[in-house]
Amino acid sequence: MNHGFVYDGANYTTFDVPGALGTSLLGISGNKYVGTYADASKLLHGFLYDGTNYTTLDFPGAKVTRPYDISGNLVVGSYEDSKNRVHGFVYNGTTWTTLDDPFFLSAGDTVVYGIDGSKIVGYTSANSGSIIAAIMYDGATYAHPFGIESEFMGGHHFYGISGNRIVGEYNDRPFVYIIPEPATFVLAALGLLALFPLARRKRNRASPRRRIPRLAAH
């Protein structure tokens, strides 16, 4: 049985959703927590705890919902639809909004992990998970700092953001990415446009799609 916990620098406090068979805490903002829990039927649900009340977070119609992070009143994460495709989402307490990176829109999965203010990070993958692109989203535009990469050669995964720093992993090595000044994005965008035809050719040669690996225990 999984248990969530809160660590304040000195003490660990066990955190379990009441009546759940297992609990995982995945994100925190002030006294608000998000994560997942397994119900009596062993079905996985997302949840929000505001310091007093628990609220189940299930994206409408989704098979599984995983809230990964929270900033203020905004919760982000990913959900799996009836066709096993993965989409990112942002939830403001009232409205659910799907986040699908248009880079691989026709055949890709979008996984959203982190949020800080209006900045959201994660990654998108396609071709049965063999190609990947780390993403930053500001509420209007998706940026791909490393362009298209090979998953098997160590593509970047963005997991968290705070201010101008993004953390994640490249292959099995952690890293911190410093967001460049806005003018730098102009050059990055030109490079990205040059790579786009390559992504289309790879997608056209792709074998039948299979489900991308999921992170364990979430």
The confidence band for 173, taking pLDDT boundaries of 50, 70 and 90, is low
Residue by residue, DSSP assigns 97-136 as EEE--GGGTTT-EEEEEEEETTEEEEEEEETTTTEEEEEE
CB 67 within 8 A of CB 26: yes
Rounded distance between C-alpha atoms, residue 113 and residue 167, angstroms:
11
For 191, list phi and psi in degrees, rounded to 5.
-65, -35
User: Starting from the edge strand earliest in sequence, which strands make up the sheet with 44-49, in order?
Assistant: 22-29, 32-38, 44-49, 54-57
* pLDDT bracket for residue 213 (50, 70, 90): very low
What are the tens digits of pLDDT across the range 102-160? 887 667 899 999 999 999 999 998 877 678 999 999 999 999 999 888 877 778 999 99
> Which of 6-10, 97-101, 190-194 is predicted least confidently?
190-194
> What DSSP element (H or E) covers 75?
strand 74-80
- Domain segments of the chain as ranges: 58-204
**Model confidence at 205: pLDDT above 90:** no
Distance CA 46, CA 57 (A): 5
Please say if the pLDDT value at position 207 is more than 50: no
Q: CA–CA separation, 173 vs 23, rounded Å?
A: 28
**What is the pLDDT of the chain when averaged over all its residues?**
83
The pLDDT score that the predictor gives to residue 206 is 38
